Structure 1
């Protein structure tokens, strides 16, 4: 299974590939997983004092903010992160802004279309992976793909997601762009997901609010016990690799079970939202691909 990988804010494909290096090495041992990286399209200037923190090269983000004032407002709130009674309360306090919504409908729509185009251009991509803002973008793409299936009958391709230190998704339903939270919406990510969180992450409420937006019967929570980053400790990565392998086996089993019941491909796709069948070449060796900008598509 191939995963499309989305970096966090102030990132690019090359830096994220390096960041995920130990994770890729650990998960590659199964021979059942491969990865492809893309960069966001919106150039991002790191906050003062962090020019060397986010790595080399031009940095990007996937989801643009609506003006510098909105960006400054969010960065200020991240610096003084609120604490609500629930994860959802925390996020509501965070997104309240003197400047209105931090996002524009067109900006978010174009970003999600860019991600889904990258998925559709490679039929082998059946999973999506994101870190921090990239997790928001990935989750939003899953929900948009689901919406397009429900409203327009557009076939779905994504079967599972991996979220590192995530944040809740954005929805484009009803011609509006909104951050959606589990205690305000009946919508849900309905494919298997693995949520990699750190109990010492100061922004853990973001990750937990994303977890709550997913089908709780197929949403796995993996706590590496550290902060807002991708884990690199070998033992932790070994356990995480086992968790992700189990998730992929869950996806495969759901298709095998339906096939064993002699359900037609057409009926089976309808029953799970028109997800395409697993690749017959599931035992192929792990591989990686990356491209650093919109102009360098893989």
Structure 2
């Protein structure tokens, strides 16, 4: 099995390798090759990342508009054509936006061709609201407002000052009180990503709603979700690592051969 690994903005393939080491160690007896690549754009470090990891840092685009995301998807598809095929994609944060956009564009434009990967594992991710609207999805005003507010809150809660003064207690999320089903109903989908998907998010992550929104555009009969209970991170506790490893195994076992 070959897994493409897409890091978050302001990190790198090497950093993502480190962030996923705990749960990947539980898969060491499986025949899985993880391919960690770097985004094509140099970037400032993500909030708080430079406290723990040295540069360089990368991003998948330098602007989040639709054309930039489309260009990144084209870049990704070219990389896959040269280095794939890939059975799965493992993604974090901005990497999830890239991977979900590539899958949605495939569904819209080339559904007769194989998807860029056969299963997807999204961690603390979201979907491009602008891309959804470009593709004919209905996104509520509340979802747009929540998405914007969550990005501001993430910068604050993940930042150096919060890390140094509050530690793990910095993660407070955004109080909203909506259920996962209510959040999913904020996006109306004309079609959905139709491969097996895993959606991992934390209820204390300011981007929690974004992770739930992403799950809403994926086939509910082929998706699994897991709330790790933390912030915008991949907790390395035994319980969380074991759960993510099990979900990864499920995703790979669900591939249509």
- Aligned residue for 1:159, secondary structure, equals strand
Closer, same or farther: CA 58–237 of 1 in aligned 2, 3 Å? same
- Would you say the 8 A contact 1:165–1:198 is kept in 2? yes
1:202, distance to aligned residue in structure 2 (A): 2.1
CA distance in 2, matches of 1:160, 1:154: 15
CA distance in 2, matches of 1:43, 1:60: 5
- Would you say the 8 A contact 2:138–2:188 is kept in 1? yes
- Aligned residue for 1:222, secondary structure, equals strand
Aligned to 1:129: 90
Q: What's the TM-score, normalizing by structure 1?
A: 0.63
CA distance in 2, matches of 1:51, 1:201: 16
- Would you say the 8 A contact 1:43–1:59 is kept in 2? yes
1:232, distance to aligned residue in structure 2 (A): 1.0
Closer, same or farther: CA 179–25 of 1 in aligned 2, 3 Å? farther
- Aligned residue for 2:241, secondary structure, equals helix
- Aligned residue for 2:122, secondary structure, equals strand
CA distance in 2, matches of 1:34, 1:41: 22
Aligned to 1:21: 21
Structure with the larger RCO, 1 or 2 (CA within 8 Å, 6+ apart):
1
CA distance in 1, matches of 2:137, 2:190: 13
Match of 1:167 among 126, 130, 138: 126
Q: Does 1:205 align with 2:223?
A: no
Closer, same or farther: CA 185–155 of 1 in aligned 2, 3 Å? same
1:36, distance to aligned residue in structure 2 (A): 0.3
Closer, same or farther: CA 64–165 of 1 in aligned 2, 3 Å? same
Q: Does 1:37 align with 2:36?
A: yes
Q: Does 1:61 align with 2:36?
A: no
1:180, distance to aligned residue in structure 2 (A): 7.0
CA distance in 2, matches of 1:60, 1:178: 30
Runs (5+) with no aligned partner, structure 2: 140-183
CA distance in 1, matches of 2:251, 2:48: 36
Aligned to 1:103: 65
Write out per-residue CA displacement over residues 155-213 of structure 1, whole angstroms, 9 at most, x where no aligned residue. 43411000000111467699x57887562431311100011111221220010000111
Aligned to 1:140: 101
Q: What's the TM-score, normalizing by structure 2?
A: 0.73
CA distance in 1, matches of 2:194, 2:99: 13
- Would you say the 8 A contact 1:136–1:168 is kept in 2? yes
- Aligned residue for 1:147, secondary structure, equals helix
CA distance in 2, matches of 1:221, 1:19: 20
- Decide which structure has the larger Cα Rg and report it: 1
Higher helix share: 2
1:54, distance to aligned residue in structure 2 (A): 6.2
Aligned to 2:231: 227
Q: Any residues of structure 2 matched to 1:174-193 within 5 Å, and which?
A: 176=134, 181=139, 183-193=187-197
- Would you say the 8 A contact 2:101–2:128 is kept in 1? yes
Aligned to 2:159: none
Aligned to 1:293: none
- Aligned residue for 2:99, secondary structure, equals helix
